[in-house]
Amino acid sequence: MTVTLAFVAWLLGAAVTVVAVVLTLTSPVWGEAVAAAARSAGDVSINVESFVSGLKTTILVVAIVLVAVFVFFGFMMYGGRNWARIVVTVLGACAIVSAVTSFNGRYTINSVSYSMTNVWPSWVAGAFAAATIVLMFLARSNAYFSAMKASRQAVG
């Protein structure tokens, strides 16, 4: 049961991450950044809107890959693979660090301060990651991973 709860928490964290990406890509901060870049560009011949569009596309592709990786390792952990439990722990720790570092939602770039209005998904994903890590290392979870390892060794 504890591994199932860890798995569900992990998948919910991945779902919240998808919400965070959607909120980030649709945030008005992009328009503010384009306007600030246009004001300070001077002689620079760069199409800021094209750059931002490319950046958004890159963020989307990276997010899709990361969420797929998170889900893959979640399924492997749920299947009793201890190595996947370790990977999920490391990825979960990264999610927690990300949540902590985005706590106030303010970013300063070239002396211009931007405010992200939707930082809650990062906090929620960090909470789900923390719950996953705790649940994966409870005594019942340890027994599950040991039993799954013994079962695989008996078969192979």
Would the pLDDT of 27 be above 70?
yes
Q: What is the pLDDT of residue 36?
A: 73
Percentage of residues of the chain with pLDDT beyond 70: 84
**What is the crossing angle of helices 82-101 and 120-136, to 10°?**
150
pLDDT one-digit tens code per residue, 52-61:
788 889 989 9
Pick from 17, 13, 101, 106: nearest CA to 59: 17
Q: What is the pLDDT of residue 126?
A: 93
98 confidence band (pLDDT: 50, 70, 90): confident
Q: What is the pLDDT of residue 20?
A: 86
pLDDT one-digit tens code per residue, 61-72:
999 999 999 999
46 CB burial (10 A radius; 0-12, 13-18, 19+): exposed
How far apart are alpha carbons 89 and 91 in whole angstroms? Answer: 6
How far apart are alpha carbons 82 and 1 in whole angstroms? Answer: 16
98 CB burial (10 A radius; 0-12, 13-18, 19+): middle
